[in-house]
Each structure stands twice: as C-alpha cells, then as structure tokens.
Structure 1
Amino acid sequence: MSTQWQMHGDYLESCNCKGACPCLFLGSPTEGNCTALVGWHIASGRYGDVDLGNLNVVVALDSPGPMAEGNWKVVLYLDERASDSQQEALGAIFGGQAGGHPELLGSMIGEVLGVEPMPIDFVIEQGRRHLRIGESAGAEIFAIEGQGGEEVVIRKHPLAVAPGQDLIVAKSRALRHQSHGINMDVSERTAYYSPFSYTGP
C-alpha cells in the first residue's frame, strides 16, 4: 500500500534564462539549455508517520531544451539535518516515486547525477529569498516591482512547480552551482517564488 503524505511551504527557482523563462509557457530556453536551482522549504509535512517539517530540499538541473520535453539531468540535495527516515522520505517524494505533483516533475528526469545530504539554508524575507547549499552554491533573488509598487504575478502557467499558486516574478542577484557538470555563475537572470502544497500518492 502506498504511503500517504502531504507537505506545504515555500519554493523558489532561478535559472540562466534572460527575461521570463519561456519554459513556463512550453517554449525554448533563451540560452538553448536551461540550468536551474529549485529549492523548497517545507513548513510542515508528513510522510506516513515521519515528520518532514522545517526541512529543505534543492534540485540542481540541466534541461537540454524546453523543460516540458524532459531529459533533465539533476542532482538532488537533501537537508543534512534530516534523519535517515526523513531523507528516505524526501528522496522518494522529490525523486518522483511517491506520487503527487513531484511524480509528474520526476517523469521529466532523464538522469540522476547524485543524491547528497547537504547543509541547506532557505531564508524568507519580504520581497526576497536566499538559498544556500553548502559553502559555494545557491541563489539570491528579489521580487520585481510592478505597477503601483505591486508584485508582478504569473498565474495558470502550463509548466508549474507549484500548481494552483500565483508565481511571483523575481530576478537573481546571484545564481551559483559548480558540481556534477551542472555549472552556473550568473546574475540578473530569471527567478520566481511562491508557496507550494503537495499531497500523495
């Protein structure tokens, strides 16, 4: 019998695309391929009897073309504070083996380059998000100011990490990752953030 699970919290993503990433709209990345960091802070959650609250997860990915076409290469980073049972649960969920929306995202993975426990910090501030993975990788993003000082929002986009949520449009101050052949060191590129809520199976 499949394990029941649920979680909610905040997520962010930042990639090497210039302007709004066309992958959200099933288009081609502006740079040919799309390299990105996607991070989740789980405010509360459970996998069966395993508590997943206050843990973080990051995926570093390289998509050779439009993300909806799949064949991603990914590295999955799991919060090093997690116990063995928590890491097993997070690996199953974010690896796409436990159902729910992560299973759909997981179906686009062509190759898993690594699954590693790492120190992960996910800082939430007004109009800003900061993700750090270990000592040298991470993303710092800030919301773009729209009309009347309001946030710029995308909704009902076809390719969504957090379906049903309004996506806040942001820009990176820094985006860095140099491991497993997924390399990026850019700024002033695409970024987004929003709440998320997943359940499975």
Structure 2
Amino acid sequence: MTWNLSGKYFESCNCESACPCVFLSAPTTGECTAIVGWHVDEGVHEGVRLDGLNVALAVHSPGHMAQTMWRVALYLDDRAAPEQQESLGAIFSGAAGGHPAVLASHIGEVLGVALAPITFEGEGASRAMRVGETTDVQITALAGQGGAQVTIDNHPLAVAPGQTIVAARSEHLRHTDHGYEWELSQTNGFFSPFAYNG
C-alpha cells in the first residue's frame, strides 16, 4: 500500500550558517552533529492516520555528510498508538521506501529507537522542538535584504526535496543521550515544509 506524509521540517546543527553540508561541502568543524525534526500535519500509512505526530532524529556524521556513514538515534512521539509507532518507525527507518529510504542509506549505525514526549512549535520566524529531557532546540530565521527571510532552493543534500528552505540560526541546541553532550548556540538551522510518499 502507498503512504504519504506532509508537514513541517526542522533542523539545527553545529555548522556555521548556512551549513555547507547541503551544498556537498565539508562541515564547518570537520564533523556534523544535528537534530532533525518532523511535525506531521497530515499523513497515512497502510490505513493508519499519523496526523499531529512528531518525530526527531539525532545525527552524528564524523566527516563529510555525503562521504561518511552517520550514527543516529530515532525518537518517536509517545502519544502515538502502537500501530502509529509501527508506521512511523517503518517510514523514518527507510523500510517503507520513499525519500526517507534515501536518507537511511547514509546511516551506518542506529544507536536506538525510543518513545519520547516531543513538542514542536512554529510561529513566524521561530521554530522550537523539545524531546523529553534529552533535547531542546530553538532556531530563528536569518533576516535578509529588506528584512525578508533568507531562503535556499534546489540544494543537493535535500531532506525536504522540492521545498524552499529557510536559513536560520540557533538560539540554543542542547542534546544529551547515547554518550553525546551537545550544547550549542548561534549555529546553523533550517526549516521548511516537507512532503514524502512511498
């Protein structure tokens, strides 16, 4: 059966703004540590509705993101019923195909899959996400000429293909799990709509 999801995409990493990884260049510090999030506005997988649920991914790439394998931890919304958890896991692990399977091809190690309370807030130029006690991120869009948001189209390392992404900068990024302790601010962020299907 086919599936589809659409909603809001969010990320923040340790690179300077705007992150060179999306242009297939080396990360600012030689490695990339990123928090990625998705808020599903509308979605269905094998008849299971996924509207309103959230998913987060912690990513560590020890080098060039297009050339090294990533270590990741996946967090699923703890409000999801068991069948919704199964559907989200199938989609965001890449097992259900579609664009998440392209992303999954970069993963070398899955550190864990956990249920967690995930909150996502998006208003105007600001986006924020919290994952239980492990993760707290807030980013704000960069102001360009005339105060308009800075946007990027058609970059090659696309997590939300076909969408215009807004370049942002973190107010803060905190993540502590699986032996990682990330505490950052004033580093890269992006947000955009997303639409996946398989």
Query: Normalised by the size of structure 1, how large is the TM-score?
Result: 0.96
**One-letter amino acid matched to 1:149:** G
Match of 1:32 among 27, 30, 33: 30
Instruction: Describe the SS at the equivalent of 1:117.
Output: strand
Alpha-carbon deviations, 1:49-100, whole Å to 9, x = none?
1000000000001001111124100000000000111011101110111110
Identity of aligned residues (%): 53
Whole-Å separation in 2 of the counterparts to 1:174 and 1:28: 23
1:84 maps onto 2:82 in alignment: yes
Whole-Å separation in 1 of the counterparts to 2:136 and 2:86: 23
Flag as ranges the 4+ runs of structure 1 deviating above 2 A.
none
Give RMSD over aligned pairs: 0.9
Match of 1:68 among 66, 69, 76: 66
Aligned to 1:185: 183
Whole-Å separation in 2 of the counterparts to 1:62 and 1:102: 17
1:137 CA displacement? 1.2
Aligned to 1:100: 98
Instruction: Describe the SS at the equivalent of 1:53.
Output: coil
Whole-Å separation in 2 of the counterparts to 1:53 and 1:70: 34
1:4 CA displacement? 1.2
**One-letter amino acid matched to 2:28:** T
More off after superposition, 127-136 vs 95-104: 127-136
Aligned to 2:115: 117
Match of 1:150 among 131, 148, 151: 148
1:32 CA displacement? 1.1
Q: Is the 8 A contact 2:17 2:168 kept in 1?
A: no
Whole-Å separation in 2 of the counterparts to 1:72 and 1:86: 26
Q: Is the 8 A contact 1:70 1:107 kept in 2?
A: no
1:29 CA displacement? 0.7
Q: Is the 8 A contact 1:35 1:182 kept in 2?
A: no
More off after superposition, 6-15 vs 175-184: 175-184
Whole-Å separation in 2 of the counterparts to 1:14 and 1:149: 22
Unaligned runs of 5+ in 2: none
**One-letter amino acid matched to 2:152:** I
Query: Normalised by the size of structure 2, how large is the TM-score?
Result: 0.98
1:175 maps onto 2:139 in alignment: no
Q: How does 1:37-52 map to 2 (within 5 A)?
A: 37-52=35-50
Whole-Å separation in 1 of the counterparts to 2:67 and 2:197: 24
Instruction: Describe the SS at the equivalent of 2:102.
Output: helix
Change in 2 beyond 3 A, CA 1:198/1:136: same
Aligned to 1:54: 52
Whole-Å separation in 2 of the counterparts to 1:163 and 1:181: 31
Whole-Å separation in 2 of the counterparts to 1:27 and 1:41: 28
Q: Is the 8 A contact 1:37 1:138 kept in 2?
A: no
> How many aligned positions are there?
198
1:45 CA displacement? 0.3
